[in-house]
Amino acid sequence: MTTQHWHADAELLSAYVAGELDAISGASVEQHLVRCAECRTAIAAHVPAPALDRAWAGVRDAVQSPPLPLPIRIARRCGVSEPTAVLLAATASLRTAWLVGAFVAVGFATFAVMVAGQDHVAPFLLVAPMVPVIGVAAAYGPDQDPLEALVVTAPFGRTRLILIRTLAVLVSVLPFTAALGLLLPGPDWLAAAWLGPALALVPVLLAVSSFVGPRTGAAVLSIAWSGVVLLSVRHFPATWPVQATQQLAYLALALASCGVLALQARRDRKIGALL
């Protein structure tokens, strides 16, 4: 047979599809199929339809769905839907550089307190509650969000997007910071008390950002929280900005902010219904 005029018969094509040919014969048939439209048409009858469908599905998945980062793949294995995983994949706050920076900042603050003692716990109280706030601020916004153009044009609630990414930021940084809090000198309740302002400042940031944007909102909260901590420094350790009375104020702020977010979510639903 010649390379120009021969065609693979049905038996040869069937053996090729079944993988029964040796390496040399298989390579010869494969090269011939590349150049021969008639044989490519003939081989279709020998390929089981389910196998062909699976092959095309694999090609589509490989082209349309590039591999997600490892944390997102883990999230999907935990039951997170694919659309939500895509939203998480674009979250700037979940990138390695930001996470490493956040952990280093909290780690240095914790080390400073351990060296200086409980009278100098201000560095940890200053940094720890603001880490989630800064992470949430970095999670969305026109300059940080690769999906911003899609979000503003698609019938998808921005509030849901922000809340999903906020939850991801909290899950990524709070356990590590809480573990470092156990190393702090001073009363045992201090290891968990900082979670009050940390969790309260996040909904406050989201509410404020709906009016002035994430960067301005984060800056305002950073200045405000710094003022609260620094005003308490003179009275450490007799006065802490995370005691029971302050925790009630943080809870009230969080509830008020959640009310604002609920109104924003209702507005988003109305806008989505009109689109």
Q: pLDDT, tens digit, for every residue of 208-230?
A: 887 787 778 888 888 988 888 88
- Report the SS3 class of residue 69: coil
| Residues 93 and 213 both lie in one domain | yes
Domain that holds residue 150: 70-274
Query: Would residue 4 count as lying in a domain?
Result: no
- Give domain status of residue 3, yes or no: no
Query: In angstroms, what CA-CA distances link 235 with 120, 122, 191?
Result: 11, 11, 19
Mean pLDDT of 266-272: 66
Tell me if 248 is assigned to some domain.
yes
Domain for residue 1, yes or no? no
Q: Is residue 98 part of a domain?
A: yes
Is 263 within a domain? yes
Residues 149 and 239 placed together within one structural domain of the fold: yes
35 plus 101 within the same structural domain: no
Query: Do residues 59 and 75 share a domain?
Result: no
How many domains would you assign to the chain?
2
* 30 plus 79 within the same structural domain: no
Write the pLDDT tens digit of every residue in 186-205. 777 777 788 888 888 888 88
Residues 94-109: tens digit of each pLDDT: 666 677 777 888 888 8
- Sorted by sequence, the CB contacts under 8 Å of residue 263 that are 6+ apart come out as none
pLDDT at 2: 44
| pLDDT: which is higher, 191 or 158 | 191
Q: Are residues 42 and 143 in the same domain?
A: no
User: Structure pTM?
Assistant: 0.57
Assess whether 206 and 88 both reside in one domain.
yes
Residues 102, 235: one domain? yes
Selection from 48-52, 86-90, 200-204 with the highest mean pLDDT: 200-204
* Residues 42 and 178 occupy one common structural domain: no
The answer to whether position 5 is within a domain reads no
Count of C-beta atoms within a 10 Å radius of residue 11: 9
Is there a single domain that holds both residue 127 and residue 26?
no
Picking from 19, 43, 64, the residue at the C-terminal end of a domain is: 64
Last residue of a domain, one of 64, 90, 110: 64
Of residues 130, 84, 147, the one with CA closest to residue 222: 130
Report d(CA 12, CA 4) in Å as an integer. Answer: 17
Residues 235 and 253 reside in one and the same domain: yes
Domain ends where: 64, 91, 109? 64
Pick left, alpha or beta for residue 147 (phi over 0 → left; psi -120 to 50 → alpha; otherwise beta). alpha
Regarding whether 52 and 78 lie in a shared domain, the answer is: no
User: Which one is predicted more confidently, 71 or 24?
Assistant: 24
According to DSSP, residue 189 is labeled T
Structural domain includes residue 261? yes
